[in-house]
Amino acid sequence: MTFLARRAALPLLLCLMAAAPSAVCAQDDVTSPVLLVKSELLKPGRAGAHEKTEAAYAAAAKAGKAPFHYIAMTSMNGPERALFISGHPSFAAAFAAQGNMGHQNPNLGAVLDRALVADGDLLTNTVSSQWMHRPDLSLHDDGDLVGVRYIETQEVFVKPGREQEVDEWFKMYAAAYKNVPSANWTAYQQTYGPNLNTFLFITRMKSLPETDAEWVVNYALFKTREGAAELKKIQELEHEFTEIEWTNLYRISPEMSLPSEELIKADPNFWSARPVSAAKKPAPATASKP
């Protein structure tokens, strides 16, 4: 499956995985110049316990007025895992934020450290990475998260020495989608982490039916002879520089997240929702007159 085929009709979003919950001074703007990303791979059958632990972490951070924000999401395909994303204005600010929180607020740091130890018992692995925003490879990336419930991410691992071809490739598929109102994506390039030749293209979706709609738009764009010929050129170029591609779908978890007050106010019904276990039980139903 090519990147272009996956992009049809999806209002795209931010960059892939996410920042550690311990990142400070984070922004909710998914088009931040720098993203800190943390991926947590869960032990089999521990997803429920992990969600409760992360919800407790977020609640403790909020109660302690932690100077950071992050968005959490859980996987809907592949191994059970969770992602946390946090945006920063610069790499210096991001790294400084990660290291200074415990010194600035020792009590809060101790509480969050204990929560992270409990969380560690539920994981098999964690991977952290840092990403640089590539606006030149993005399209209509306004970064608006209001109403967004799902995130689709695609990582493109580029062969060493072939990074420049990504620019040419982007111009080709951007031209195909520039007149599709729902098509928009945010691109990032990895700067610190497992693979520096990795590009991230991120999709925001408000509902799951958008995953079906992409195929309809894709067919409409390339069903003509000219469209099919252009698609072939794009696929051939992609094959030349691509090592491997990963496409994943995630569900945003408001309980595990620590969003900013601005984001909560903009979408209160979603971000202010409490976990089912914490909600009050409804009162017994009583008969009423018609």
Whole-prediction pTM: 0.79
pLDDT at 15 exceeding the cut of 70: no
pLDDT at 258: 92
Q: What is the average pLDDT score of the chain?
A: 77
Instruction: Pick 9 or 212 by higher pLDDT.
Output: 212
Place of tokens 């698609």: 231
Indicate the domain borders of the chain. Answer: 3-270
pLDDT at 29 exceeding the cut of 60: no
CB 69 within 8 A of CB 58: no
> What percentage of the chain exceeds 90 in pLDDT?
29
CB 130 within 8 A of CB 190: yes
Which pLDDT band, with edges at 50, 70 and 90, does 231 fall under? Answer: confident
pLDDT at 173: 77
pLDDT at 60 exceeding the cut of 50: yes
CB 252 within 8 A of CB 71: yes
Question: For residues 210, 259, 191 and 98, what is the CA-based torsion angle, rounded to 10 degrees?
Answer: -160
CA–CA separation, 41 and 124 (whole Å): 6
DSSP letters of 149-213? -EEEEEEEEEPTT-THHHHHHHHHHHHHHTT-TT-BBEEEEEEESS-TTEEEEEEEESSTHHHHH
Q: Average the pLDDT over each of 50-54, 81-85, 221-225, 259-263 and give the range with the smallest value.
A: 221-225
pLDDT at 124: 94
Tokens encoding 210: 């958008």
CA–CA separation, 216 and 207 (whole Å): 16
Q: Average the pLDDT over each of 120-129, 158-167, 256-265, 267-276 and give the range with the smallest value.
A: 267-276
3-class DSSP assignment, residue 13 = strand
CA–CA separation, 167 and 163 (whole Å): 8
Tokens encoding 212: 């079906």
| Paired sense of beta strands 123-133 and 71-75, if any | unpaired
Q: Average the pLDDT over each of 95-104, 232-241, 264-273 and give the range with the smallest value.
A: 95-104
CA–CA separation, 22 and 123 (whole Å): 17
CA distances from 87 to 54, 69, 205, 261 (A): 19, 8, 19, 15
Q: Determine the average pLDDT of the residues in 166-188.
A: 81
pLDDT at 12: 28
Q: Write out the CATH class of domain 3-270.
A: alpha beta
Q: Determine the average pLDDT of the residues in 205-219.
A: 79
CA–CA separation, 113 and 39 (whole Å): 18
Q: Determine the average pLDDT of the residues in 81-98.
A: 83
Q: Determine the average pLDDT of the residues in 193-213.
A: 85
Instruction: Pick 222 or 238 by higher pLDDT.
Output: 238
Q: Average the pLDDT over each of 66-75, 150-159, 167-176 and give the range with the smallest value.
A: 167-176
Bridge partner residues of 246 (DSSP):
155
pLDDT at 5: 36
DSSP letters of 27-82? BS-TT-SEEEEEEEEEPTT-HHHHHHHHHHHHHHHHHTT-S--BEEEEESSSS-EE
pLDDT at 141 exceeding the cut of 70: yes
